[in-house]
Structure 1
Amino acid sequence: MSERTAVNETVAALLERSNALGSDPRNTNYAGGNTSAKGSATDPVTGEETELLWVKGSGGDLGTLEEKGLAVLRLDRVRALQDVYPGVEREDEMVAAFDYCLHGKGGAAPSIDTAMHALVDAEHVDHLHPDAGIALATAADGERLTRECFGEAVVWVPWRRPGFQLGLDIAEIKRENPGAIGCILGGHGITAWGETSQEAQENSLRIIREATEFIERTGTPEPFGAHDPARAALPEAERRAKASALFPVIRGLASTDTPMVGHFTDTEAVHEFLASEKLSTLADQGTSCPDHFLRTKVKPLVLDLPADASIEDSVARLKELHESYRADYTAYYERHADADSPAMRGADPAIVLIPGVGMFSFGADAQTARVAGEFYVNAINVMRGAEAISTYSPIEESEKFRIEYWALEEAKLQRKPKPKPLATRVALVTGGGSGIGKATAERLVAEGACVVIADLNLEGAEATAAELGGPDRAVALRADVSDEQAVVEAVAEAVLAFGGLDLIVNNAGLSLSKPLLETTAKDWDLQHDVMARGSFLVSRETARVMIDQAMGGDIIYISSKNSVFAGPNNIAYSATKADQAHQVRLLAAELGEHQIRVNGINPDGVVRGSGIFAGGWGASRAKVYGVEEEKLGEFYAQRTLLKREVLPANVANAVFALTAGDLSHTTGLHIPVDAGVAAAFLR
């Protein structure tokens, strides 16, 4: 076997193992844990065989790990760091030293756990965060229970912050316990090893399986204590309605320091915890595994009201509890911060628990918010397991602070790319499945927004949402904007998708081109129902959400050049567009006190990609102007001052310009996007 083939097989086996372990949430949480393999390759400088370490780099996810996500280091140089290690008080310096151990360009940035993988004398090492393993790790008598569960096969390691010293500790344990397959890391997780990739994977799975079986076999049947019926889950329809009503308020509170996107979870595990006797005690103790509390904060905010509490009472109490939470978090920071600590990053909760309703989690984007919720479910599972076999005993608060405000964690945060202009903003685009709406959704997602695509044609909306990256970026729902109840329900569903709404694009529309004497009352009503009435209904319902959030927002009307231009054979459409245009002015005047800006865009001649033109409008207008339908776009372009055809993307660009921040003091404005139609100049 050639050297290159051997290296490829080593890396391929590592990636296969990593993906298999990381794809099962019972084994580890998203982006949690790391795996490694050791092997040899020729040093291109000396021509000598060199031992290498391939290890998952900082920030990667095992379930989706690719070769580019591996850090590659020279083992001799990493091991040589033991000779210059300055001690646990200065171990953070060792992370920078890893840069001098890289092989070639080194691949991904090495993580804090690199020393564990390099120093343990085994060809393959796994470090994971399984719920069952952390349950043992956080049990008050975890050391005794580890022996009882595994005998001599798995060794207990008292809590130590991840770093170079932990790597030294585990390496020593491996040397002193040659029959061991791994260890339980107090308060944290598990580490396993093997001489082949398959053996390491089997040992990891054995630890997880035996810990799970031990908890099931020896644990108490009601680890959370008695069930409180007053905090039990409401019927699904009722709890989703209550969640939708509360979510904007909660999101606004959670965004006091920094705007956040939300995620809603109402699984059985969440409701079991919310209705339990030990809810308050366990929630107040907070999470333990560093991967958990870095995303969930040290503890959640818990509403201390019964499930059937009114919306009004719940909102009032949430606001009180939020103030208390902020004061408590600030006190936590001040208890432990010193002169070298990073500045406090924000005092708002990342997890909010509402008995009877569910869990609301928050993050800088939809994926981060969703993952924060997943991590808290992991924490619930950990607490259940620890309480089943012992008493849940997480790491000390001071240790949590050392992790949360670790200089290395701060450096990782500083390396993140600058947020996109519309990051954290949640948009609703009506008629978003095609034409201007689709182009607008595409631009908003590209600029960092989460988008709810509402369309009468659900299939088209779903196709657009899938193209844009799926539920962490865009979701689809069917909406008939002319139906009041349908709009109410669509807005409620939109709120549940991402926690609230910030940017509304009233784009749904249609047109029938007929002269006055051929225009029926049905023609008139249809166009007014969809565009004038529809825009009014969507604006009214979404304004309620934005007012509850108290985060400001934008409402954009896609009106038309026809709102100010008197064209032939077009009375119903043009009158409707004039209605929309005046709604912009009226709502700008009314909603300004809530920091909600209302602006309009007046496109013209958007033929390509347009659902309206494809639906017969193009043929009608072509007939009016005496041109071939396929040349209608060219005809419109030639009558403009710029002689340019207007495309859906040009309208989307105007939506972005109005909402991305540079026009923060502009409201009540109409922007023509018509390539210059003098007759439609605004006066």
Structure 2
Amino acid sequence: MSPATLIENRWDDAKAAAMSEAGRLLYRSNLLGADKRITNFGGGNTSAKIAETDPLTGEPVTVLWVKGSGGDLGSMKQDGFATLYQAKLDALPRLYRGVAHEDEMVGLLPHCTFGLNPRAASIDTPLHAYLPYRHVDHMHPDAVIAIAAAANSEALTAAIYGGEIGWLPWKRPGFELGLWLSRFARENPAAKGVVLGGHGLFTWGDTAKDCYETTLRIINRAIAWFAEETAGKPVFGGVAHAPLDASRRRAVAARLMPAIRALIASDEKKVGHFDDSGPVLEFVGGRDLEALAALGTSCPDHFLRTKIRPLVVPFDPAADDPDAALAGLPEAIAAYRADYAAYYERCRHPDSPAMRDPNPVVYLVPGIGMITFARDKATARIAGEFYVNAINVMRGASTVSTYVGLDEQEAFDIEYWLLEEAKLRRMPKPRSLAGRIAYVTGGAGGIGSAIATRLLSEGAAVVLADIDRAALEAAVAQLGAGYGADMVRGVVADVTDEAAVIASFAAAMVEYGGLDILVSNAGISSAAPFEETTLETWNRNMAILGTGYFLASREAFRILKRQGLGGAIVFIASKNGLAASAGASAYCAAKAAEIHLARCLALEGAPDGIRVNTVNPDAVLRGSKIWQGEWRQQRAASNRIREDELEEFYRNRSLLKRSVFPEDIAEAVYFLVADLSAKSTGNIINVDAGNAASFSR
């Protein structure tokens, strides 16, 4: 086994020495959470029992610092820890009335809070509180869960670790498991940790560094053991399907993802993610794919994100016939929903919450990869990451033993845990465009990026298309920093190139899985007396402002109609499309063509719920690319003023005597794509501060 596959010890003594005990806990947590082989996003817990001064008595007290509810080890800050009086936690066991009353113990944890800390303690708090060690790590490393999910898990643990690491059978996280761990530690004082059947790993130490190094050492031992034991052995039953080449995989995904979305997003819009990484392709190409997928995941952190099992999409890579797969999708998803409903009915309790969305989250496509869908891109991506963790677990466990998924009733009891339901109900209301996917041409310009900002602020995922690669990359980086890298993508596209436009929409389908909104905004400007207007100038205006709008909207129309989920298209035209301007015939004529094309599309799109509207800006000088070159000079010359007088000139020309900015255009676009205007199509909104000549009626 190559040493590069082992997890590197990244502890820095000099850095840690300058930290407080709580600081070293955070440092350790961030190091552990940064590697998905150690624990998945949001998974695992760390803790430290730290001497503090009681703010009420001034006396020294021991405080349990433990990762709070909902945090992520890799990205959390100091305020991500719950803090609780250890003495008060020690008093809770006498109030414990047994497994049937587990959940009531969670309600007692806030009474143990130290320092008025608002961070809620998680259900895992007792798992740390009653271990007699200062520092405790609870991780979900793939290599150790592969041991925990094997049929002979206890024997494997003993063979790999001897007595250094113990073993406990599956138990749902909570107070009872906390008492189990406490009892194990008392009875096995030499142990450095314990494997929890079907779940994960606990390790401990006297110092933060000692605990961190023990965790790494135990995980690396499992990694090395599996590397040796699986060397040369077929995995997942051997190869049944070789993967198609990368470009073909993406092409098939681009066909499948909108079709899947159409079948699962009628009640709630969803965003997709595609993964064709090595572990995924190995799994979806294996002979045992369907058998292993049907067993479901083992670790509760996995199936809370992925549902208990995925859907294997009926696609034969040898035939490479996406149409056949598309034809089989409705029946396959309907069967999955029926199976999920039956699972709910078999396992439900009288007080169980109502059945949630029965659609699959994970879709495995032989020879192609894995598709995941969720309420937003980040959740879809993370669900995929969790299933990759599950794949790694199945790979190890099924190669050296028999893989065992979590018992169905146990899985249901966690998925529909009343405490989990309460957490879901506390989540904030989704923003108005949550789950929607937008494509904006001219996205790197001032108006385009303002539109993207407005849509992102309401929860939409946005694809920016632009011909200027450098400007596009800068815009994507800036918007990603503000709204999250998952929420924005960029595609380089010349809107006058049919093949480039089609390819850019296909790329958007692979990135997000569908489309709800098109904002056609790419533009240029030109000015010249009519007799001096060259054919080149005329054709360039018509190509970008006419053909470009046609090609983008035609591709969007095709996708929206196939999805059957409705949609919204907005053209950014111009005041000049309604009111002629001397010396700009090519520009005005092309903008008029845009407006009339939008009206035609409104007629054709209405039966499919596709709304098409137009925004007419005027004189948006700030941030607009078309005002940075000759157009600015030409407009100034045409009006016999200096360039620096243009903004004041246009402001005073307007009826309202106000300047128009990119964010004003963005606000009109938002109105037209949101449900606020659900009954509006074929309309024009002038955003020009008032210009009587361009009144549309």
Return the TM-score normalized by structure 2: 0.95
**Count of residues in correspondence between the two structures:** 677
Contact 1:269 1:377 (C-alpha < 8 Å) held by counterparts = yes
Q: Distance in 1 between matches of 2:288 and 2:676?
A: 49
Confirm or deny that 1:241 pairs with 2:255.
Answer: no
Match of 1:225 among 237, 257, 264: 237
**Partner of residue 389 from structure 1, selected from 376, 400, 405:** 400
Pick one of 32, 35, 44 that aligns with 1:21.
Answer: 32
Match of 1:347 in 2: 358
Whether 1:71 and 2:85 are equivalent positions in the alignment is: no
Q: Which amino acid aligns with 2:439?
A: L
CA distance in 1, matches of 2:96, 2:335: 43
Kindly indicate whether the alpha-carbon contact (under 8 Å) linking 2:315 and 2:321 is maintained by their aligned counterparts in 1. no
1:436 corresponds to 2:436: no
Q: Find 1:186's aligned residue among 176, 183, 197.
A: 197
Q: What residue is the counterpart of 1:463 in the other structure? A: 474
Work out whether residues 513 and 570 of structure 1, in 8 Å CA contact, stay in contact via their aligned partners in 2: yes
> In structure 1, what is the equivalent of residue 639 of structure 2?
625
Secondary structure class of the residue paired with 1:637: helix
Percent sequence identity over aligned pairs: 49
Greater alpha carbon shift after TM alignment, 238-247 vs 31-40: 238-247
Is 1:157 aligned to residue 157 of structure 2?
A: no
Q: How big is the shift at 1:311?
A: 2.0
Runs of 4+ deviating beyond 3 Å: 5-8
**Aligned twin of 1:550:** 564
Indicate if the aligned counterparts of 2:440 and 2:465 stay in contact, CA closer than 8 A: yes
Residue 649 of structure 2 corresponds to residue 635 of structure 1: yes
The equivalent position to 1:657 in structure 2, one of 671, 684, 690, is: 671
Contact 1:292 / 1:376 at 8 angstroms: preserved in 2?
yes
Counterpart of 1:580 (choices 580, 594, 597) is 594
Shift of 1:247: 1.3
Give the CA deviation at 1:256. Answer: 4.0
Q: CA deviation at 1:7?
A: 12
Cα deviation, residue 254, structure 1: 3.2
Q: Distance in 2 between matches of 1:8 and 1:199?
A: 16
2:325 maps to: 314
Cα distance in 2 for residues equivalent to 1:418 and 1:575: 45
Q: Contact between 1:257 and 1:348, CA under 8 Å: does it hold in 2? A: no
> Which structure 2 residue ranges, 5 or more long, are not aligned?
1-15
Separation in 2 of the partners of 1:88 and 1:583? 67
Residue 428 of structure 2: aligned partner: 417
- Tell me what 2:372 maps to: 361
Shift of 1:6: 11
**Whole-Å separation in 1 of the counterparts to 2:590 and 2:202:** 66
Q: Which amino acid aligns with 1:241?
A: A
Given that 1:515 and 1:570 are in contact with CA atoms closer than 8 Å, whether structure 2 keeps it comes out as yes
One of 503, 517, 521 as aligned partner of 2:535 = 521
* RMSD of aligned alpha carbons: 1.4
Correspondence for 1:254 among 232, 257, 264? 264
Q: In the alignment, does 2:583 pair up with 1:569? A: yes
Aligned counterparts of 2:203 and 2:263: Cα–Cα separation in 1? 42
Q: Indicate the residue corresponding to 2:285 in structure 1.
A: 275
Give the drift of 1:211: 1.4
Partner of 1:330: 341
What letter is aligned with 1:483? Answer: D
Q: Distance in 1 between matches of 2:456 and 2:530?
A: 41
Q: Which stretch has the larger CA shift, 280-289 or 543-552?
A: 543-552
> TM-score scaled to structure 1, two decimals?
0.97
Matching residue's letter, 1:647: F
Q: Deviations over 1:352-395 (max 9, x none)?
A: 11111111011211111111111111100000010121100011
Structure 2 counterpart of 1:244, one-letter code = A
One-letter identity of the residue aligned with 2:235: P
Check the 8 A contact 2:22/2:50 in 1, yes or no. no
Match of 1:167 in 2: 178
| Equivalent residue runs for 1:670-681 within 5 Å | 670-681=684-695
> Contact 1:351–1:362 at 8 Å: present in 2 too?
yes
CA distance in 2, matches of 1:267, 1:151: 35
Letter in 2 for 1:625: N
8 A contact 1:253–1:348 mirrored in 2: no
Partner amino acid, structure 1, of 2:237: G
Task: Give the C-alpha shift of residue 641 in structure 1.
Answer: 1.2
Match of 2:5 in 1: none
1:9-64 deviation line (CA, Å, top 9, x unaligned)? 11111011101111011101111101001111111111211110111111111111
Q: Which amino acid aligns with 1:223?
A: V
* Pairs within 5 Å for 1:40-119: 40-119=51-130
1:613 alignment partner AA: W
**Aligned-partner residue type, residue 122 of structure 1:** Y
2:283–2:289 Cα contact (<8 Å) kept: yes
Secondary structure of the structure 2 residue equivalent to 1:111:
coil
Change (3 A) 1:366 1:305: closer
Deviation digits for residues 185-223 of structure 1 (CA, Å, limit 9, x no counterpart): 111111111111111111111221111222222237113
CA shift for structure 1 position 305: 3.1
Q: Secondary structure at the match of 1:232?
A: coil
| Residues in 1 aligned to 2:281 and 2:450: alpha-carbon distance in whole angstroms | 40
2:576–2:591 Cα contact (<8 Å) kept: yes
Give the AA of the match of 1:627.
I
- Within the candidate set 469, 472, 475, 2:489 is matched to 475
Aligned to 1:408: 419
What is the alpha-carbon distance in structure 2 between the residues aligned to residue 266 and residue 395 of structure 1?
A: 26
Query: Which consecutive residues of structure 1, in runs of 5 or more, have no partner in the other structure?
Result: none
Q: What is the one-letter code of the residue matched to 1:27?
A: I
1:339 to partner: Cα distance: 2.5
3-state DSSP class of the match of 1:477? strand
**Equivalent of 1:140 in 151, 165, 168:** 151
Shift of 1:568: 1.1
Native 8 Å contact 1:7 1:39 kept in 2: no
Give SS of 2:591's match: helix
Return the offset for 1:490: 0.8
